Amino acid sequence: MEPSAKYLYYPGCSLKGTGIAYEESLLTTFRLLELPIQELPDWNCCGATTYMSVSETSASCWRQETWHWHAGQVPETCWLHAMPVISPCARARNWWHTIRR
Amino acid sequence: MERQIRYQREADLEWAHKFTKHPNCERLLLCIQCGTCSGTCPLSVYMDLTPRQVMAMVREGFRDDVLRSKTIWLCASCYACSVECPQNIKITDIMYRLKREAIQSNLYPKRFPIPVLAQEFCELVRRRGRNSEFWVVFRMAFRSNPFVLLTMARTGWDLWRTGRLSLRMERIQRVNELQYISAASKEVD
C-alpha cells in the first residue's frame, strides 16, 4: 500500500454485505471527484452495537486495535496517522470519532 | 395466574446501589420519571416494559424482572432517549450494561433472537475478525427458531439476486492478535 491516497476508507462489515450498494456508489463518487481513496489494509470489525452487549472491554479494545495496529506498531505505516478516515457506516464512524478524540 | 405486582422484599437494593456506581450509570438516580425516554423511543410500542419503567425498576432494585425483560434487547441504540433526557441520563449505556448483566447471569430470554444474535456475532468476530452477515443470521436462526429461515427465504433470494448477500466467510490476516486481545480483555471484565 502506497501513501498516494488522500483518504483512508474504513468500510465496516455492513458495507461488504447488505450495504454493498452504498459502497459502490461511494467509491464511484470518489473516483468521479478524483479524490484518491484507499481501503485500510486488514481492518477488523468494529463490533457495532452488538459487541457492547457482551463485553465492553473487548469492544473498546477491538476498536483501538484496528487503528493502533497500523498507526503505532508498524513504523512504515506511521503516515496513516495524518490521513482523514472515511467511514460511511454510522456506527463505525461514531467509534472512529471516539477513538481519535 | 402469575402475580403481577411486586413486593418490596423482592427488591435487591444492594444491586441497585452497585449498579449506579458503574461509569455512565451514575445519573440514573436523578431520573424524574417524566417519560420522555418512552415517548421518544421508536420501539417502545413493542416493549414489555417502557424505558421509563426500566429506569424506575433498576433504581428500586428489581433486578430479575429487568434482566428478563425484552425491553433491553429491543433497544436499537438510536440514542434518541439519551439526547432528549432532561436529566442527561445515558439511557443507552444503561441498557448496554443491563444486556451484559443479563448474559452474564444467564437471565436473557433464551429463544429471543436478539441476545442470541449478539452472542453469535461476537463468536464469529472473535474467531475471524470480521462479521459475515449471512452466517450470523443463519446461526442465530438455528439457535433461536429455525423455522424463521423459511419466512426469510424470499428476502434472502432477493438479496442474493441483487448481489447483496455473500456466502463467503470474511477473515482477516492478524486474527491471532485479535484473539490475544480478547483473552486479555476477558481478564479485565
| In chain B, where the domains are located | 8-104, 113-188
The answer, for A16 touching chain B at a CB cutoff of 8 Å, is yes
The answer, for A98 touching chain B at a CB cutoff of 8 Å, is no
Gap between the Cα atoms of B76 and B100, Å rounded: 15
Burial of B177 (0-12, 13-18, 19+ CB in 10 A): middle
In terms of average pLDDT, the best of A47-51, A78-82, B1-5, B24-28 is B24-28
Burial of A2 (0-12, 13-18, 19+ CB in 10 A): exposed
* Phi, psi (degrees; rounded to nearest 5) at A9: -115, 120
Residue A72 has pLDDT above 50, yes or no: no
The answer, for B134 touching chain A at a CB cutoff of 8 Å, is yes
Mean pLDDT for B25-51 is: 93
State how many domains chain A has.
1
Task: State residue B24's pLDDT score.
Answer: 85
Task: Answer yes or no: is the ipTM higher than 0.85.
Answer: no
Mean pLDDT for B161-174 is: 82
Q: Are A46 and A12 in contact (CB under 8 A)?
A: yes
Do B122 and A43 lie within an 8 Å CB cutoff? no
Does residue A12 lie in a domain region? yes
Which pLDDT tens digit goes with each residue over A41-67?
777 777 777 777 777 776 666 666 665
Do A44 and B118 lie within an 8 Å CB cutoff? no
Q: How far is A6 from chain B (nearest CA, A)?
A: 24
pTM, two decimals, is 0.82
Gap between the Cα atoms of A82 and A68, Å rounded: 13
Residue A74 has pLDDT above 50, yes or no: no
Which chain A residues contact residue B173 at CB under 8 A? 42
- Supply the CATH classification number for the domain B8-104: 1.10.1060.10
Do B99 and A52 lie within an 8 Å CB cutoff? yes
Gap between the Cα atoms of A12 and A63, Å rounded: 11
Task: State residue B86's pLDDT score.
Answer: 95
The answer, for B17 touching chain A at a CB cutoff of 8 Å, is no
Gap between the Cα atoms of B177 and B98, Å rounded: 29
Domain, as residue range, for A89: 7-100
The torsion region of residue B89 among left (phi > 0), alpha (psi -120 to 50) and beta comes to beta
